[in-house]
Structure 1
Amino acid sequence: MRILAFSDIHRDVDRARQIVSASADADVVIGAGDFAICGEGSLDTLHVLRDCRCDVIIVHGNHDNACEMADFCADWNLGHFLHGTAVEIDGLCFAGLGGEVPSRTDHVWNASESEERAAAMLAALPRASVIVTHTPPLGHADLQHDGTHEGSAAIRDYIRQQNPRLALCGHIHNAWGMTGTIGDTRVHNLGPKLNWFEI
């Protein structure tokens, strides 16, 4: 399976159009959150991405309105909004968890989950081949510009326990393009460029 993945396009309609064009060569497109900016405008790019020619899996970022995105996907046959949920495509299980874990800001628009809540949601997921989260796992592809790690312990622990083949995330802009491994799992902080994976 050929996967095209990205994160953090933050209302960039031109980038969304590039993704749609590239989707002709993909089996699945994955968006790991932050389509909006400060809670506004996630539909700007989602309306464009609806033209993708394959299944599209999305999770919400901390800038996104999760309910708005879930509603948008409700009548999109190829669109799959995941948050503590999973979908099977061509025999592979994709699981997702959106938002910032844990919350690191008190902005009213910031979509987040506590580590405890995230752990409970992840524990309820089936075993996945690909885990898609907005927040990186703690200590992996989560390095801030000041040298601190701002990932999630719950996501890290899920990956250690379940050993998916691929973990895709975004959120920490300084870590875009960073990679790592947890056990046999490849971890990638995507960023807004077009990232290709084969599984």
Structure 2
Amino acid sequence: MTIRILCFSDLHRDQEAAKRLVELADQADLVLGAGDFANRHEGLADTLDILQSITRPTVLVPGNGETADELREATANWQSAIVLHGEGCEIELHNSTIPVWGVGGGIPVTPFGAWSYDFDEDQATEMLAGCPEGAILITHSPALDTVDHDSAGKIRGSQSIRDAILAKKPRFAVCGHIHSDWERQVTLGATPILNAGPRGVLVDVPE
């Protein structure tokens, strides 16, 4: 058996993208949103007010453009959604329990300044430590040298996320953050990693 997952990231207030995701969600068992719904903490409701009509189980992490608390407040009325940041949950699908672990924010610290919701590698290591083996991992930032190449070709990902994937062997990992690698998928160890992007990507993952 497989689970069909709708993955997306980096909406940045794009309402048309949010409407398309609502339509795509009908084809999915699980929805994963890998952060950056807002722009510099503004306009969080622009997309979340649309997305909250999704009734499939949904797991979200904050990007570097919104905090975990801001995201939780903005999704308070979205009954099927849960926000994770340095924590996990269990999703019941097809009579089985799927562990999901989430860590948001920019990792490592971005060059964008004080507004960016960022964490250093040591903080990220702590937030990733509890991830169960074989879970689904959702982060805003990508693992180092995977789907993290910026427009100049420089790698921008996180060593701590890379280390966690190699150690915990998640069955699937989804991220965003680096726009130039949207919709690109690679494998690290045995784990497929997707940089989702705002259009939404449907992926089949083994239960």
Q: Which TM class, normalised by the smaller chain length? A: over 0.9
Does the alignment pair 1:35 with 2:41? no
Aligned mates of 1:110, 1:154 — CA distance in 2:
19
Query: Residue 101 of structure 1 aligns with which residue?
Result: 107
Aligned mates of 2:190, 2:13 — CA distance in 1:
34
Aligned mates of 2:112, 2:35 — CA distance in 1:
19
Query: Residue 61 of structure 1 aligns with which residue?
Result: 63
Aligned pairs for 1:90-169 (under 5 A) are 90=92, 91-169=97-175
Query: Residue 78 of structure 1 aligns with which residue?
Result: 80
Aligned mates of 2:179, 2:106 — CA distance in 1:
13
Counterpart contact for 2:59–2:83, Cα < 8 Å: yes
Aligned mates of 2:14, 2:77 — CA distance in 1:
23
Query: Residue 22 of structure 1 aligns with which residue?
Result: 24
Aligned mates of 2:150, 2:203 — CA distance in 1:
25
How far the C-alpha of 1:42 sits from its partner, in A, is 1.4
**Over aligned residues, Cα RMSD in angstroms?**
1.3
More displaced, 68-77 or 80-89? 68-77
1:183 to 189, 193, 197: 189
Taking only the aligned residue pairs, the percentage that are identical comes to 38
Counterpart contact for 1:94–1:128, Cα < 8 Å: no
Query: Residue 198 of structure 1 aligns with which residue?
Result: 204
Does the alignment pair 1:89 with 2:68? no
Aligned mates of 1:18, 1:132 — CA distance in 2:
21
Counterpart contact for 1:32–1:59, Cα < 8 Å: yes
Aligned mates of 1:181, 1:75 — CA distance in 2:
36
Q: 1:82-141 deviations in whole A, cap 9, x for unaligned?
A: 101111112111111000001122522200111000001101233342100000000001
Unpaired runs of 5+ residues, structure 2, are none
Letter in 2 for 1:140: T
Counterpart contact for 2:32–2:59, Cα < 8 Å: yes
Count of residues paired in the alignment: 199
- Tell me the secondary structure at the aligned position of residue 38 of structure 2: coil
Aligned mates of 2:159, 2:202 — CA distance in 1:
26
Q: 1:21-66 deviations in whole A, cap 9, x for unaligned?
A: 1211211111101101122111211111110021111111111132
Aligned mates of 2:77, 2:16 — CA distance in 1:
24
Q: Give the TM-score, by structure 2 length.
A: 0.92
Aligned mates of 1:179, 1:20 — CA distance in 2:
23
Aligned mates of 2:73, 2:133 — CA distance in 1:
26
How far the C-alpha of 1:77 sits from its partner, in A, is 2.6
Q: Give the TM-score, by structure 1 length.
A: 0.95
- Tell me the secondary structure at the aligned position of residue 25 of structure 1: coil
